[in-house]
């Protein structure tokens, strides 16, 4: 079974240590949620795992398929099965959703087989329509420029479509619920749930319980001061909803000090 094993991860941003020895294991077939107060390092974890240059890994490793992904280029991390859905997706004017996705697929195929000539256009169109139907998306979406003029909900749905097409083994969703109204949240969550299965694992980073009402996690983790300090089942998120983070801060005051 493929799994992402994060061991003793330390990450700094502009000389300030944000992650301070984080440990976490995510297996295919599992949905994990990470919650925590602002500034605890949740998004830092996401960007460090995908290789953002502003995030300096000073110690630790993240193993997937026996490789330390932290030693790979961002595209190589994608090729071996990692995916990041951004909190704030950027627009790429002049590049249609379909062309972007076909280029991404061909990059993955080329990495697996340098002799690969790329996915034939008819095959790609059929596959893209199937994925869009799975996510209940209008086919006209494929002809629009990537994220240009998209609403917040459309941007997040575009991220989920990319995930459906690339079929990563482990996906990281960085505050996918940010800025979504309840209808958009439900649509995005249904898309994630449509992909859920034995070949797909996910880490859902969120501040709020509400997305977890739609995407039921197998495990919930609480981050404080750059570490995972509590882990449990879905009931842990409900406890946070009812009690906030004060009890976590009190219990781990020596960590946050």
Output the CATH code of domain 3-256: 3.40.50.300
Q: Could you give the C-alpha distances from 208 to 150, 205, 213, 239, 251, in angstroms and in order? A: 24, 9, 10, 12, 21
Average pLDDT, the chain: 92
Residue 42 and residue 101 in contact, taking contact as beta carbons nearer than 8 Å: no
Mean pLDDT across 115-138? 92
d(Cα 216, Cα 255) in Å, to the nearest integer?
Answer: 29
Q: Which residues lie across from 216 on neighbouring strands?
A: none
Query: So what's the pLDDT on residue 254?
Result: 52
Q: Which of helix, strand or coil describes residue 12?
A: strand
Residue 97 and residue 159 in contact, taking contact as beta carbons nearer than 8 Å: no
Residues 173-185 pLDDT 10s: 998 888 788 888 8
Residues 201-239 pLDDT 10s: 999 999 888 899 999 999 999 999 999 999 999 999 999
154 Cα distance to chain centroid: 17
DSSP annotation string for 169-207: SEEEEESTTTT--HHHHHHHHHHHHHH-BTTBEEEEE-S
Q: Structural domain boundaries of the chain? A: 3-256
26 phi, psi to nearest 5 deg = -125, 120
Query: So what's the pLDDT on residue 1?
Result: 59
Residues 39-57 pLDDT 10s: 899 999 999 999 999 999 9
pTM, 2 dp: 0.91
Label residue 8 left, alpha or beta by phi (over 0 means left) and psi (-120 to 50 means alpha).
left
With tokens 């697996």, the residue in question is 112
Listed range (30-44, 182-196, 204-218, 237-251) with the worst mean pLDDT: 182-196
Confidence of residue 257 (pLDDT cuts 50, 70, 90): very low
């Amino acid at each position: 079974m493929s799994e992402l094993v994060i061991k003793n991860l330390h990450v700094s941003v502009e000389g300030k240590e944000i992650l301070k020895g984080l440990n976490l294991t995510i297996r295919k077939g599992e949905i994990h949620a990470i919650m925590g107060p602002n500034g605890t390092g949740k998004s830092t974890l996401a960007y460090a795992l995908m290789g953002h240059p502003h995030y300096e890994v000073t110690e630790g490793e993240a193993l997937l398929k026996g490789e330390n992904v932290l030693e790979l280029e961002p595209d190589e991390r994608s090729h071996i099965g990692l995916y990041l859905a951004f909190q704030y997706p950027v627009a790429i004017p002049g590049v249609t959703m379909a062309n972007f996705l076909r280029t991404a697929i061909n990059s993955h195929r080329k990495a697996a087989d340098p002799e690969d000539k790329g996915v034939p256009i008819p095959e790609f169109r059929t596959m893209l329509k199937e994925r869009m139907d799975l996510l209940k998306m209008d086919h006209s979406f494929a002809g629009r420029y990537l994220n240009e003029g998209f609403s917040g909900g459309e941007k997040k749905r575009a991220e989920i479509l990319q995930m459906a097409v690339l079929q990563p083994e482990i996906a990281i969703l960085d505050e996918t619920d940010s800025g979504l109204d309840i209808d958009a949240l439900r649509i995005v969550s249904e898309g994630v749930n449509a992909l859920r299965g034995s070949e797909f694992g996910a880490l859902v980073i969120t501040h709020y319980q509400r997305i977890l009402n739609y995407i039921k996690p197998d495990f919930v983790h609480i981050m404080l001061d750059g570490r995972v300090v509590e882990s449990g089942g879905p009931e842990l998120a409900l406890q946070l909803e009812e009690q906030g983070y004060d009890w976590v801060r009190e219990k781990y005051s020596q960590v946050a000090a």
